[in-house]
Amino acid sequence: MAKVKSKYVCQNCGYETAGYLGKCPECGSWGSFVEEIADSSSEHKNLPVIEDIYPPQKLSEIEMDTEIRLSTNISEFDRVLGGGIVQGSLVLIAGDPGIGKSTILLQTSGELCKNGKKVLYVSAEESASQVKLRAERLSVKSDNLYIYPQTNLELIKRNIDNLKPDLVIVDSIQAIYTSTIQSSAGSVSQIRECCNSLMQVAKSQNVSIIVIGHVTKEGNIAGPKVLEHMVDTVIQFEGDKYKSYRILRSIKNRFGNTSEVGIFEMGGNGLTEVINPSQLFLKEYNQTQTPGSTIIVTSEGTRPLLVEIQALVGTTPYPAPRRVANGVDTGRVLQILAVLEKRIGLNLSKQDVYVNVIGGIDVSEPAADLGIALAIVTCVRDVVFDLQTAIVGEIGLSGEIRAVNHIEKRINEAQKLGFKRIIIPDANDIQEKFEGIEIVKVKRILEAITRGVKPVKEA
Ligand SMILES: Nc1ncnc2c1ncn2[C@@H]1O[C@H](COP(=O)(O)OP(=O)(O)O)[C@@H](O)[C@H]1O
Ligand SMILES: [Mg+2]
Ligand SMILES: [Zn+2]
């Protein structure tokens, strides 16, 4: 009998070695190696002989396929996908366990079926009756929706062949296995092999496939870096465990823009689209008139979003003052503090500084700088910021306010939500005419403070 050879595979990035390693030379993670069976057969003997049906062609002679997209009927989801699911594409939806991946895909299945499409929902983690229970709760019902509790890839493929569905959902990629290799389900080798095989099915049968992938605690899709470059589209499902809203974010898309986000609210009967997200994020704002809070207009993909920034500055009890940032980049906050100290003489060397984005959303763009700076300044001076003013602008190292992208969309959004003034960089050119909102253009941080901050009352 042939000796079973084993190999060690980094579960984070898929790097393989013959012997155990403590640290992965590829991705640098520690203790990530797991012994797997080296299956030489699957790597060599089983490779299908490929017929060369697409020989090299002159660019000018190539006929274009028209991209066919399936609409999910859920506009937030469609937008993140770049306008619906492209026929014959493989989409990965990644997210923490319990975030709502099964929920949104079951709802999506229901919507597609309403449009007369046939959907095969492979439930590798839950029994058919568990899925049925969820479907009842979400009021999903259709005779075009097939639930298939199965973990074996070969059987799944056979049923795709038989049923010829328009869309296949695999819930989840970590729970299925192929009999062609011996490693256990969820290992990097299995995930990679299954994903590859599903990709071939998608392309050869022109069926769209969505696979669900759980994210490990390190924030990677388990075995996952491996998957990200294999699939056509990667969509991340994010959210705060303690909040009801969820964000779909496209992080890779061969068929669309990657900076789009879709916002949903999780409730008893499933996920509902949030049509006006700024309203959601500003819900608590009107009741909290405190020094150190400002409203910025951030831009997620092509969509502007109003969010509240809060800063708290106080004398430190520690030898070295603390700087804590939630929802914004700490490095960015440190830079803003340095500029405030140097350019307007704000002394923060004995002060702790906390900066928070309300609602738990991440704001990573530099256009938030000015809002953060003004939150800090109003907190230090103990004044309440004018509640009717929104702020956008990036701060440069010399204290200059730099232009931001999508300025007109941002102004529009602020106006739509009833803001009467907006502070923007002087460097931004505005073509559109705006009525009912005063536009305050500023060149430097000091000017932004003197012209922009209109204290409405001393706190
Ligand atoms: N009976 C229920 N009533 C209300 N919400 C529920 C119910 N069951 C589950 N949920 C919500 O659905 C979430 C689980 O969603 P699910 O789609 O199973 O997540 P995932 O597939 O990403 O692991 C739970 O965290 C909870 O918020
Ligand atoms: Mg699930
Ligand atoms: Zn690695």
Number of neighbours of residue 438 by Cβ within 10 angstroms = 12
Looking at residue 313, the DSSP 8-state letter turns out to be: E
pLDDT score of 50: 64
Distance (Å) from CA 106 to ligand 2 centroid:
10
pLDDT score of 152: 96
Query: Residue-wise over 262-300: b if at least 16 C-beta within 10 A, else e?
Result: bbbbbeeebbeebeebbebbbeebeeeeebbbbbbbbbb
Q: Is the CB of 99 under 6 A from ligand 1?
A: yes
Considering the four listed CATH numbers 3.30.565.10, 3.40.50.300, 3.30.460.80, 3.40.190.10, the one that applies to the domain covering 67-274 is 3.40.50.300
- 47 phi and psi angles, rounded to 5 deg: -65, 125
Beta bridge partners of 7: 36
pLDDT score of 96: 84
Q: Which ligand is nearest the CA of 241, by number?
A: 1
Q: What is the pLDDT of residues 112-166, one digit of tens each?
A: 999 899 999 999 999 999 999 999 999 998 899 999 999 999 999 999 999 999 9
Cβ atoms of 209 and 91 within 8 Å: the answer is yes
Q: Is the CB of 136 under 6 A from ligand 1?
A: no
Distance (Å) from CA 247 to ligand 2 centroid:
16
Q: Does this chain's domain 67-274 share its CATH topology with 280-452? A: no
What distance, in Å, lies between the first and last C-alpha atoms of the chain? Answer: 83
Q: Which ligand is nearest the CA of 17, by number?
A: 3
CATH class as words, domain 280-452: alpha beta
pLDDT score of 459: 40
Among protein residues, the one whose CA lies closest to atom 14 of ligand 1: 98
pLDDT score of 371: 94
pTM of the model: 0.75
Among 362, 438, 359, 428, smallest CA distance to 393 is for 428
Q: Is the CB of 213 under 6 A from ligand 1?
A: no
**Substitution candidate for ligand 1 out of 96, 102, 103 with most atoms within 8 A of CB:** 103
C-alpha count within 13 angstroms, C-beta hemisphere, residue 312? 9
β-pairing, 233-239 vs 90-95, is parallel
**How would you write 164-217 as a 3-class SS string?**
CCCEEEEECHHHCECCCCCCCCCCHHHHHHHHHHHHHHHHHHCCEEEEEEEECC
Distance (Å) from CA 213 to ligand 2 centroid:
9
The separation between CA 340 and the C-alpha centre of its own chain, rounded to angstroms, equals 32
Distance (Å) from CA 71 to ligand 1 centroid:
24
- Report the C-alpha gap between 138 and 458 in whole angstroms: 50
Q: Is the CB of 98 under 6 A from ligand 1?
A: yes
- Report the C-alpha gap between 116 and 136 in whole angstroms: 20
Q: Is the CB of 267 under 6 A from ligand 1?
A: no
Which positions of the chain have pLDDT values less than 50? 41-42, 220-221, 458-459
Q: What's the one-letter identity of residue 92? A: L
Q: Domain residues of the chain, as ranges?
A: 6-38, 67-274, 280-452
Helix and strand element counts for the chain (H, E): 12, 23
